[in-house]
Amino acid sequence: MQYDNLVARRVHSAEKWHTLLAQLPYAHPLQSWAWGELKSRWGWEMRPTVFMLGSEVKGAAMLLYRPISRTGFGMLYAPKGPILDYDDMLLRRTVLQRLQAIAHAERAILIKIDPDIPMAFGADEPESHPLGMDLIDELRAHGWRYSPEQIQFRNTVTLDLTQSEDNILAQMKQKTRYNIRLAARREVEIRAGTPDDFALLVELYAETGERNEFGIRPKSYYLDVWQTFWDANMLHVLIAEYKGQPLAAILLVYSPDVCLYMYGASNSVERKRMPTYLLQWEAIKWAKAQGIPLYDFWGAPDQFNEEDRMWGVWRFKSGFNATVARHVGAWDYPVYPRLYSLVTEMLPRYREFLRRA
């Protein structure tokens, strides 16, 4: 099929956006209207764009635009996008060209994409995935550069929910199964949360960040994220309690195709009761009951060794015997190469300064 007449069009309503997105493969919650709307309240401008061939939608990108202060320029970003049939080589090449043209028109110094396409599977001896490897070759050949700023997790861990619950449980590591049952024996109870719990959960999340030494955004940001996804019917909350006292929580962001374990929080109380193991199991069962085919544990190490900052997280997730998916990662197209070099050198230094401060 030829795509010379592929046209980029802006979409102006959430209903139309999700109707069009439902017709495409590789859709992701971070390409949802809810995510674009949220980011528009935190320094970005949403540019929901579809690529039409006549009356048929062939691709989409929830583009986020951010002005770079006092320069007259900005940057564009498609988190976990664009969305299209990546198996169609000519289509993906044409969509990339249209994105480059949009970046020029928007006076963007760069456009960053982050396709949700794996290039390999496995932790220790990964097996290459032809589609992802072909995409990387094509990006390089057409002037795209592997990004020094990987905003989302490049690697993640996924679990196939199309199999039976018994099979999922049987394939877990013995210690993980033991801890799930231990939590139940030790009277850990799991309940569904509501927005009334968000104030409690944001405090629990802040405690988690302090204990595990990872930076967090302002508490108001998380309250906004959770309420936005809740209002869009894309959030499910589970809370583990012991005798009415909250111990841990999971916030799941989901679409018809995938359930993301996007946020997890816990305190240091009653940790020997293993509440996080039972929480994950209940989250997996809930997602399966909704007919969602894939559970995404959302994040894995870049390097699978003990020096990686996510090694401890990986040890926990690996017990569920899920599959490591190594994605192609984020790629930049430098519209203005000299300005791009300046920005990509300065931004990491500035963020490191803020982190140290």
* Of 204, 315, 313, residue with least CA distance to 267: 204
Secondary structure of residue 2 in the 3-state scheme: coil
Question: What pLDDT is recorded for position 39?
Answer: 97
Q: How far apart are CA 153 and CA 219, in angstroms?
A: 21
Chain centroid to CA 144: 21
Alpha-carbon distances, residue 176 vs 124, 171, 237, 335 (angstroms): 20, 10, 22, 48
* Of 190, 179, 194, 258, residue with least CA distance to 226: 194
* Of 84, 38, 81, 44, residue with least CA distance to 64: 44
pLDDT one-digit tens code per residue, 213-244: 677 889 999 999 999 999 999 999 999 999 99
Q: How far apart are CA 271 and CA 179, in angstroms?
A: 11
* Of 303, 330, 326, residue with least CA distance to 145: 330
Token couple for 227? 């309420």
Torsion angle, alpha carbons of 346, 30, 297, 120, to 10: -70
Question: What pLDDT is recorded for position 54?
Answer: 95
pLDDT one-digit tens code per residue, 302-314: 888 888 888 888 8
Backbone phi and psi for residue 32, each to the nearest 5 degrees, phi listed first: -80, 160
Token couple for 273? 């009761």
Residue with the two structure tokens 């006092």: 70
Q: How far apart are CA 233 and CA 146, in angstroms?
A: 34
Sign of CA dihedral 296, 299, 303, 308: negative
DSSP annotation of 324: E
Which domains occur in the chain, in start order?
7-150+329-356 (3.40.630.30), 158-325 (3.40.630.30)
Chain centroid to CA 146: 18
Q: How far apart are CA 66 and CA 54, in angstroms?
A: 30
Show the low-confidence residues of the chain (pLDDT under 70): 212-213, 347-357
